[in-house]
Amino acid sequence: MRVTITEIKEMKQKKEKIPMLTAYDYVTAKVVDEAGVPLILVGDSLGMVMLGYESTIPVSMEEMIHHTKAVVRGAKNALIIGDMPFMTYHISVSDALHNAGRFIQEGGAQAVKLEGGEVVAEKVRRLVDCGIPVMGHIGLTPQSIHQLGGFKVQGKAVEEAKKLLKDACVLEEAGAFAIVLECTPAPLSKLITQKLAIPTIGIGAGPDCDGQVQVISDMLGLYTEFVPKHAKQYVKLAGEIKSAVSSYISEVKSLSFPTMKQSYTMDDSILDVIASEAKQSKSK
């Protein structure tokens, strides 16, 4: 049975921390799911870490649906959240409904995430009313990177902090089942977490959030172009992969790979027939 939003909300009540990870493909989703992560986000961060874009802004619905389907096939237990790309929920409630509906119906996700506070509250309410669970996302919202002026911590000044607290309350009131806090000062995240009945999931938001999320490519040390302060590399896979590939190259060149261990045999009598036929056709 898949994890439900009710179970996620209960985890906060039971003071049980909620680990969440991103995944973008079948094999990774399968491993993450088998390891026991209850929430998997098909983040639009895939634009940067899987597709090589400079930001999340160019990511399209088609790309998100393609990756969401793969993750849903791989993960059988976790609740899968599809991240709504830039401009797929900003223009109208009807756009938001149409695109969120695609994540659920075509992608097979169980929930969607969208960035913003009060400004998206009406859309959150309508999605929830239509039966689509919504995760909010405030603080550093990468889709607004040009407006924010870069990847910066949010909520250090009084007015900014007040606005974030208000945004969190408005999202809860609109029906969000959880809220991502990205790059907010730890004491402010704690305050927001205490104020809300729904779980907060932090990334660069300190230890007092109800849950934590990491971009899988950061925690596995796969995406090395930019390593954010809040990312912890549990393994350095990019280096390990490079050294495995170097070994492969040198083994192929030195004829030590493949050996008969990685090869297939055939019956000698069949080989004799083929070889003699080949010889005859050559002599004609």
Which residues make up the interface to ligand KIV (CB under 6 A)? 22, 41, 43-45, 83, 137, 180, 182, 203, 213, 215
Closest residue to ligand KIV, based on beta-carbon distance = 43
> For the chain, how far is it from start to end, CA to CA, in angstroms?
67
The residue (of 45 and 88) whose beta carbon lies closer to ligand KIV is 45
- In angstroms, give the least distance from the CB of 83 to ligand KIV: 5
Structure tokens at 108: 């097979």
Residue pair 75/23 in contact (Cβ under 8 Å)? The answer is yes
Q: In terms of CB distance, is 137 or 190 closer to ligand KIV?
A: 137
Contacts 24+ apart (CB under 8 A), 25-30: 25/50, 25/67, 25/70, 25/71, 25/74, 26/70, 26/71, 26/73, 26/74, 27/74, 28/74, 28/216, 29/70, 29/71, 29/72, 29/73, 29/74, 29/75, 29/78, 30/74, 30/75
63 assigned to active site: no
Nearer to ligand KIV, 225 or 251 (CB): 225
Give the Cα separation of 150 and 43 in Å (integer): 19
275: tokens are 């070889």
**Spatial separation of the C-alpha atoms in residues 230 and 90, rounded to whole Å:** 28
Which amino acid is present at 277? E
The residues, any chain, with a CB within 8 Å of residue 214's CB and separated by 6 or more, are: 21, 22, 203, 231, 232
The residue annotated as part of the active site, out of 63, 115, 172, 182, is 182
Considering the complex, what minimum distance in angstroms separates the CB of residue 47 from ligand KIV?
8
Closest contact distance (angstroms) between CB of 75 and ligand KIV is 16
The amino acid sitting at 23 is: A
Closest approach of Cβ 76 to ligand KIV, in Å? 21
Q: How far is the CB of 151 from ligand KIV (least distance, A)?
A: 11
DSSP 118: G
Of 63 and 182, which CB lies nearer to ligand KIV in the complex structure?
182
Catalytic residues: 182
